[in-house]
Amino acid sequence: MKRLRRLFFRNRAEQELDDEITLHLEMETRKNIAAGMSPREAARAARLHFGTDPGAVKDYVRDTRRLGFIETLFHDVRYALRGFRRTPLFALTVIGTIALGLGWNTAAFTIFNSVVLRPIDALDPHSLYGFGWQNPDGDSVQLTVSQLEDLRKAHPGFSAITANFPVRIRLDGRFAACDLVDGEFFQTLDINAKLGRTLLPSDDRSPGGSPAAVLSYSAWQNRFGGAADVLGRKLPVQGHPYEVVGVMPEGFTGLGHAFGDVWVSLSNLAQFEDTPNPLSPDAPAPFILAGRLQPGYSEQQAAAALTAWIRNFMPDRVPRATLMSLATMVPFTDRMFAILTPIAVVFLLVLLSACANVANMMLARAMARQREIGIRLSLGAARGRLIRQLLTESILLAIPSAAVAFVVSQAFIKFSLWLTATTIPAAFLDQATIPPLSPDIHVFWFMSGAAAVVAMLFGLAPALQATRMDVVRAARGDFSSGFRPSRLRNTLVIAQVTVCAFLLICSAVFLRRANRLERLDPGMRSHDVLELDLQPKSRTREIATLQMQPEIAILASSSDPPLDVHLPAIAASGTPDARFAQILYRYASPGYFKTLDIPIVRGRSFSDQEGVSEAAVVVLSESAARKLWPSEDAVGKTLTLAPPDVPLRGDRPPRYRTLQVIGIARDSAVGAIDNPDRSSLFFPTPLQDPRNVFIARVHGEPQHAIRALDAALEQSSSGSVQDIHVLKDYVDVGIWSYQLEFWIFEALGGIALLLTLSGMGARHGSGD
């Protein structure tokens, strides 16, 4: 209160101090006159005796009075603003520089925040967990439908448990994410619909499925134009008529990172799976399990409860339960941390570079103001006081910088979304799901925090440097020699150049990779080859339909897509006693090599008979042949798979341990186009194996063929098409991801370069 009064009656306090000092000097003068001095001499002696300059005393008293803080702040702010008015270009350059550096970081943080930090739309998202079990040997455990039923009833460690099963569907010829959910799903999340209702337990219980469908807000907007009368409208999903019963609120994307456009009841599973009765008690339940933690339970307690529950079913090899938080779209795990740290460092480097730049400018300015600072120092201004003033200046610059940085970050985000949308290979545009990227309170705190740190960084060093001045020299009017900031400034410039070079090198690496990928010969035909992922509803009908189409030149199938896939590996050896080498393998139908234009350089490909009977024969790539039989012709040799005591494992283990090599295929990309190891094994599989994906070489324009095949398949077996892509798209999207990284680093490097150049310019211009 007293301080406040002093603040408002500052002038009075100031006046009192003036009076006091005047009185003092006057009394001293009188004393001197009484001692016999002339009045003039007496006044001079009084002033001399007083010692320090009376103005400095006032300054000091003001500080000791410590009403200080607010008043000094006002004072410093006014002083700083006056300074900015005098040199607006300086202020604008600083604000622009920091805004650029901070803007990038805020943009990156906004994206990180939306994906990793922002809780999903649900009541108390932090008690939601996904879970599963792992066998002692690391395989994950799959429950049966009846076990799942028991689990839901028992809900060990959880107050509610729900199962969901994401599938990809097509709505009006475009891909959409559909989540099949049980009746407890929305109740577990405890979220209500924006329009209509969510799915209820009653939907799940109707045998043979329920036609109720719930739309996401964006699906409602994009596919129904946000129509108010959407409820009750028909929605054909996989050839079955559904009815829209609800629309979820904006921003609700479902559970985990699987985005949902449509939610339907899990009781409809039969429409999406080929097995005749996927919900019979003994059927596998390959669902994603999630639940809300029992109040008061810790993660460990819940995991223990889940482990105890599964012991009833698997008493001899008890699997261990693992939990994963579903509070945010992507959980912040150690792995995530490991991936994000280098990215964060790169972004921070740009910000630091901006800081260095501004610090440099501040130093240059401080040098220009040496005279002023020198005079104030020699007049007795406290160093701390001056530093505080310079820091106030920095903070005043940081606040508008943060505001501009926010605008910049929004522009960056808009621009990068636009860049993504325009450059992503068209076939993947449908699948690119973008989380809502609106800024929130986290972003605000990040910006404020970063701006404050930045202000300290660019303000403190120059403030310390500039005030480290030799008062004695300054008093003599020598304002320059005591002040040598050039070492600090050199260090700053060197750091900047290093950062800039580093970023540009990174971008060059990514560009090189993108270019190398583009130039890499995958060793297989890709521009007119389609990859068709079909629901195995009826393979014979699907094959008949496909083979009837005039667009199809050759049709083949394989256990895995030709590119962009993780292939399984197996230990193989040329002689039973020789060392085994891990080689990737795939199953290929007899037409595989011809469809992809992979020549058989020696021997032959599979015959139709070998395909159907899955005979004990194998085709090797040239690299595999060289690896297994370095000095001999491999054709006709016997290949041994895995040492005798090692079981053949995997999703689709080979049926034989010894196979006859019947042919050598020219090397082609194995799994990934940039995989340098091109050794692989091909085992025969029949064209109609329901686990295979189709690979078709087509006549004419591939996009036209896609539309024609899509239409034909929709007619003969509605809803069977999961995915159709030109093989080349997979090559392109691989290149694109490197290009994207190149652009990001190029932009970062460009900004850093700009900063460095302007920093050096400022350094040069200051006449250092």
Partner 1 sequence: MNLLQGTLDLLVLRTLQTGPLHGWAISERIQQISQDVLQVNQGSLYPALHRLEHQGWIKAESGISELGRRARFYRLTPSGRRQLETETADWSRLTAAIGRILNQA
Closest CA to 397 of 659, 97, 647: 97
Buried/exposed 357-384: b ≥16 CB within 10 Å, e otherwise = bbbbbbbbbbbebbeebbebbbeebebe
Interface with partner 1 by CB under 8 A: which range of 61-69, 189-197, 511-519, 638-646? 61-69
Q: Alpha-carbon distance 158 to 156, whole Å?
A: 5
Closest CA to 247 of 320, 296, 198: 198
Tell me if 66 contacts partner 1 by CB under 8 A: yes
* Closer CB to partner 1, 51 or 630, in the complex: 51
Tell me if 26 contacts partner 1 by CB under 8 A: yes
Closest CA to 575 of 649, 662, 658: 658
Interface with partner 1 by CB under 8 A: which range of 56-64, 285-293, 475-483, 545-553? 56-64
Give the nearest distance from C-beta 2 to partner 1 in angstroms. 10
Q: Alpha-carbon distance 209 to 277, whole Å?
A: 12
Q: Alpha-carbon distance 345 to 351, whole Å?
A: 10
The DSSP result for 293-333, as a single string, is: EPTT--HHHHHHHHHHHHHTT--SSPPEEEEEE-SBSS---
Interface with partner 1 by CB under 8 A: which range of 55-63, 279-287, 312-320, 717-725? 55-63
Answer for which of 14, 44, 50, 194 binds partner 1 (CB under 8 A) is: 50
Interface with partner 1 by CB under 8 A: which range of 13-21, 144-152, 193-201, 448-456? 13-21
Answer for which of 11, 34, 40, 64 binds partner 1 (CB under 8 A) is: 64
* Closer CB to partner 1, 53 or 124, in the complex: 53
Tell me if 19 contacts partner 1 by CB under 8 A: yes
Give the nearest distance from C-beta 43 to partner 1 in angstroms. 14
Cα R_g (the chain), whole angstroms: 37
Interface with partner 1 by CB under 8 A: which range of 46-54, 167-175, 237-245, 439-447? 46-54
Name residue, tokens 């440099």.
Answer: 360
Interface with partner 1 by CB under 8 A: which range of 20-28, 154-162, 362-370, 593-601? 20-28
Tell me if 37 contacts partner 1 by CB under 8 A: no
Give the nearest distance from C-beta 62 to partner 1 in angstroms. 9
Structure tokens at 506: 């990174």
Structure tokens at 580: 């085994």
- In three-state secondary structure terms, 237 is strand
* Closer CB to partner 1, 57 or 456, in the complex: 57
Closest CA to 360 of 761, 759, 767, 764: 759
Give the nearest distance from C-beta 471 to partner 1 in angstroms. 15
* Closer CB to partner 1, 49 or 699, in the complex: 49
Tell me if 56 contacts partner 1 by CB under 8 A: yes
Tell me if 49 contacts partner 1 by CB under 8 A: yes
Separation in Å, CA 711 to CA 168, 253, 530, 552? 18, 30, 15, 14
Answer for which of 20, 41, 372, 478 binds partner 1 (CB under 8 A) is: 20
- In three-state secondary structure terms, 174 is strand
Answer for which of 57, 399, 424, 554 binds partner 1 (CB under 8 A) is: 57
Give the nearest distance from C-beta 375 to partner 1 in angstroms. 18
Tell me if 7 contacts partner 1 by CB under 8 A: no
Give the nearest distance from C-beta 76 to partner 1 in angstroms. 20
Partners of 621 in the β-ladder: 665
Show the site string, 495-534: x = touches partner 1 by CB under 8 A, - = not: ----------------------------------------
What single-letter amino acid sits at 311? R
**Site size for partner 1 (CB under 8 A):** 24
Answer for which of 28, 204, 560, 729 binds partner 1 (CB under 8 A) is: 28
Tell me if 18 contacts partner 1 by CB under 8 A: no
Q: Alpha-carbon distance 561 to 533, whole Å?
A: 9
Name residue, tokens 């087509």.
Answer: 698
Closest CA to 402 of 28, 29, 88, 97: 97
Q: Alpha-carbon distance 83 to 88, whole Å?
A: 8
* Closer CB to partner 1, 66 or 233, in the complex: 66
Structure tokens at 491: 């260090």
Answer for which of 7, 10, 14, 21 binds partner 1 (CB under 8 A) is: 21
User: 116 and 336 in contact (C-beta within 8 Å)?
Assistant: yes
Answer for which of 7, 61, 77, 115 binds partner 1 (CB under 8 A) is: 61
The DSSP result for 356-421, as a single string, is: HHHHHHHHHHHHHTHHHHHHHHHTT--HHHHHHHHHHHHHHHHHHHHHHHHHHHHHHHHHHHHHHH
Tell me if 382 contacts partner 1 by CB under 8 A: no
User: 290 and 181 in contact (C-beta within 8 Å)?
Assistant: no
The DSSP result for 530-582, as a single string, is: EEEEE--S-HHHHHHHHHH-TTEEEEEEESS-SBS----EEEEESSTTS--EE
Tell me if 5 contacts partner 1 by CB under 8 A: no
* Closer CB to partner 1, 28 or 393, in the complex: 28
Structure tokens at 106: 């805020």
Instruction: Output DSSP code: residue 208.
Output: T
Residues 688, 691, 693: CA angle, nearest 5 degrees: 75
Tell me if 60 contacts partner 1 by CB under 8 A: yes
Tell me if 65 contacts partner 1 by CB under 8 A: yes
Tell me if 52 contacts partner 1 by CB under 8 A: yes
Closest CA to 722 of 527, 525, 531: 531
Structure tokens at 145: 């439908």
Which residue stretches of 369-382 are H helix?
A: 370-378
Of residues 631-670, which lie at the interface with partner 1 (CB under 8 A)?
none
Give the nearest distance from C-beta 57 to partner 1 in angstroms. 5
* Closer CB to partner 1, 66 or 704, in the complex: 66
Tell me if 24 contacts partner 1 by CB under 8 A: yes
Tell me if 12 contacts partner 1 by CB under 8 A: no
* Closer CB to partner 1, 49 or 468, in the complex: 49
Tell me if 16 contacts partner 1 by CB under 8 A: yes
Give the nearest distance from C-beta 32 to partner 1 in angstroms. 12
* Closer CB to partner 1, 24 or 388, in the complex: 24
Tell me if 608 contacts partner 1 by CB under 8 A: no
Tell me if 4 contacts partner 1 by CB under 8 A: no
Q: Which residues bind partner 1 (CB under 8 A)?
A: 16-17, 19-21, 23-24, 26-28, 31, 49-54, 56-57, 60-61, 64-66
